[in-house]
Amino acid sequence: MELLFDFLGLAAEAAVDLTANVAVELISERKKGTTNMSDTHKNITAAGSAVAIDGPVGAGKSTIAKECARRLGFVYMDTGALYRAVGVYCKENNIDAYNEEAVAGILDKISLEIKREKESVITIAFNEAGYKSPPVQRIILNDSDITGKLREPDVSMLASKVSSYGAVRAFLLDLQRDFAAKNNVIMDGRDIGTVILPNAKVKIFLKADPEERAKRRYDELKEKGAKITFDEVLADLQKRDSADSSRAHAPLKQAEDAVLLDTTGNTFEQSVEQVMEIINSKL
C-alpha cells in the first residue's frame, strides 16, 4: 500500500509568516453558556481569506494544510488540538469525559492559549515512519505546554467524545471564528466548512481508505515510540469515524459546497498540488 507520505527529502522554507512577525496568542476564558451555537456570524472571512479542510482522522488534513498554508503565506490552525486539550484536562484531573454534565462543569476552569512559532526553516522528511515536521502551533493549557500529549491514543478517544458535547463546542466556537476573521487562514477539522466557517471562500473534504489512514497514523505513533499494533490503530480509527459521524452536535460530514478529494494512493506532493489547485481556482 502506498502511503500518502512515501517519498524522501523535502526542505521547506520559512514557516507561515504571521502578522507583525510575532507569535499569535488567543486566550479562552469563557464560561459555560456564554456562546450560542445557533448564532450565525456573517462575513466572518471579511478580514481575511479562509480555507476550510474537513475529513476523517488520518486523511492527511493537517500535513497537507500546513504545507498549503506555507505556500500561500496563510496561517495554519489545527482546531482539533483544542478539543484534544479539553481531553487532556479531563484525563489529568480525573474528570469522566463520558459524562457530559461533568465536562460542561469544568470548562470555566480551562484557559487555552494558542501559540504560533515562527521558524526560519522547516525541515520536512518523508520516510517509512511517516511525515514529520516541527510544530507550528503549540497549545498551552492553564500555563502548561501540552503539545506533546495531544496525539496520545487515549487522548484521541477523549477528544472525540468531548467534541460531541454542545457546551464544549460552544466554548471553543468564537475562539476559532475570531482567529479566522483576523487572519488569512487554513483550518482543518471535522466541521470547519459546515459549522465553524460556513462562509469560507474555499471548502475541501478529504478522504482516504480506512486501512491507508490507519497505516499513516500507526507509522506516526511508532515513530514517537508508542507501543501499539496496527490492528489497535485501525480499530481506534473505526471507532473515531463512527463517533465523529454520528454525534448529535456538528457531526463529520461534507459541506454541500465543498470539493471532495480522495487522497488514497497519493504521494504527499500529489495531494498538496491537488489541494492547491482547488484553492487557487476559488480565491
pLDDT digits 0-9 by tens, 9-42: 333 333 333 332 323 334 343 333 444 433 333 3
Reported as a pLDDT band with limits 50, 70 and 90, residue 197 is very high
Q: Which of 38-47, 238-247, 262-271 has the lowest mean pLDDT?
A: 38-47
pLDDT at res. 10: 32
For the chain, the structural domain boundaries read 10-282
Residue of 242, 212, 204, 275 whose CA lies nearest to 55 = 204
pLDDT of 213 > 50? The answer is yes
pLDDT tens, residue by residue, 229-259: 999 999 999 998 888 888 777 788 899 999 9
Reported as a pLDDT band with limits 50, 70 and 90, residue 150 is very high
What is the C-alpha end-to-end distance of the chain, expressed in Å?
34
Reported as a pLDDT band with limits 50, 70 and 90, residue 136 is low
- Single-letter code of the amino acid located at 97: A
The domain defined by 10-282 carries CATH number 3.40.50.300: yes
pLDDT of 155 > 60? The answer is yes
Residue scoring higher pLDDT (254 or 45): 254
- pTM for this prediction: 0.66
**What residues are paired with 124 via a beta bridge?**
10
Q: Do 56 and 241 touch, CB atoms closer than 8 A? A: yes
